[in-house]
Chains A and B, each alone.
Chain A
Amino acid sequence: MEKLTFDYPASGEKPKRAHVGVVGSGDLEILLEPSVDERAHVTIQTSVTGFADTWKAVLDRFFAGYKEAASFDIRDCGATPGTVAMRLQQAIEVSRS
């Protein structure tokens, strides 16, 4: 298991909390909450070590379009970057619904 943290600037409002996904094979769980400060924070616990660069690439792309001051608590069980991107999108959808 590997733990990673990322930080992104935020300019938007604080989101409502949302919970999506499951820590099952090839999937991940995301807990989305309003951030404690004016930045976006991501903490990741992943079962697969050595993919920090891939996580950064997926998150860089995601936070290029997402500016809310959110805290993402991600628990990953070997999801592909595509699955991660879709779960992030789903978390936003649930948060806004």
Chain B
Amino acid sequence: MTTATQLPEEVLALSARRSYIELNARARATQLLDPGTFRELLGPFDRIESPWLPMQGIVPQSDDGCVVAKGTIDGKPALAIALEGKFQGGSIGEVCGMKMAAALALARQDCECGISTGAVLSLESGGVRLQEANIGELVIAEIYAELIALRQHVPVIVVVAGMTGCFGGMSLAAGLASYVVMTRQARLSMNGPEVIEQEAGIEELDARDRPLIWNICGGAQRYATGLADMLVEDDAAEIAQAVRTLFKKGRPAILRSDPQELYVERLKQLDPAQPWTAEQIRESWKERAR
């Protein structure tokens, strides 16, 4: 008898799995497109990189932390954008943000010409790049405008896999997406826990308290409260399959950014003096979870 036959099935399944979280941005974009169709736009050898970082003594990356690729998904034209969370925390500077906005604009123009081109964004980002603050915010506004324009034509899918998470400006981009796919490891939130602790004090939020943090903005909680559409394992094949499934579903009847009065109502119900537990929020918000 070999050792392999003695292992429980779940262990074997785990060893066969290929992690998506461990892939870099380029490998993620490749993974989300049909095999062999990945064609990068403004790749590393084009050296379209941040002019602002070296002025501030920071080493730039050749693709500014953003991989933009054209290809197909299930044989249909598609755009894949992946942010590199390890470079400057996946922060959005002028170049990487403009790459995203311009690519989304090209996909929208294709849609307007009758070539349906869906978009999938793999977001790992701490938000705007502080070293390029105002220009970064401006390009993020461009990204939002293009997301809103493109989602009228085709599904725009955001994947948040971790471990950087999706915060700040890019968390709002996720909010504008047609669908959001998350893993349990992923976090999605406007203000990251470290920022809240720094600004409001450790009494407000202890950023080291991992169970607390993941109960607030982790993938499982976001899915249970209707802020994500699919909860997937950290499996490259499963995540690519989830994206294909959502493209097949087409555009949702109601977008997550539509029912604003619902969110205002939820905010009114919150009493800051009596913080809710993760279970209470799940119970209270579940009826609107998709």
**Chain A residues near B (Cβ < 8 Å):** 1, 17, 19, 22-25, 27, 29, 31, 33, 45-47, 73, 75-77
Contact = CB atoms under 8 A, between A and B. Distances in A.
Given A1-B54, A24-B87, A25-B86, A31 B61 contact: no
A70 to B, nearest CB: 14
A75 B44 contact: no
Contacts of B61: 22-23, 29, 75
Given A1-B57, A47-B59, A22 B45 contact: no
A19 B24 contact: no
A56 B54 CA distance: 23
Interface residues of B, number: 15
Contact of B60 (A17, A22, A31, A75): A75
A40 to B, nearest CB: 18
Given A1-B59, A23-B61, A33 B45 contact: yes
Contacts of B88: 23
A46 B59 contact: yes
Interface of B: 24, 43-45, 54, 57-62, 84, 86-88
A19 B84 CA distance: 15
A3 B58 CA distance: 11
Contacts of A46: 59
A23 B44 contact: no
A31 B45 contact: yes
A22 B54 contact: no
Contact of A31 (B24, B62, B84): B62
B62 A22 contact: no
A73 B62 contact: yes
Given A19-B62, A45-B60, A75-B60, 6 more contacts: A19-B44, A23-B86, A31-B45, A45-B54, A47-B59, A77-B59
Contacts, number: 45
**Chain B, interface SS category:** loop
A1 B58 contact: yes
Contacts of B60: 23, 45, 75
A22 B88 CA distance: 10
A22 B58 contact: no
10 contacts: A1-B58, A23-B60, A23-B88, A24-B87, A27-B86, A29-B61, A29-B62, A31-B44, A75-B59, A77-B59
Nearest to A46: B59
Contacts of A77: 59
Given A1-B54, A23-B87, A45 B44 contact: no
Contacts of A24: 84, 86-87
A48 to B, nearest CB: 10
A47 B86 CA distance: 15
Contacts of A22: 24, 61, 84, 86-87
A79 to B, nearest CB: 11
Contacts of A19: 43-45, 62
Contacts of A47: 58-59
A19 B25 CA distance: 13
A23 B63 CA distance: 10
A23 B59 contact: yes
A31 B61 CA distance: 10
Contacts of B87: 22-24
Q: Which 7 A-B pairs have the closest CB atoms?
A: A24-B86, A23-B61, A1-B57, A19-B44, A45-B59, A75-B59, A22-B86
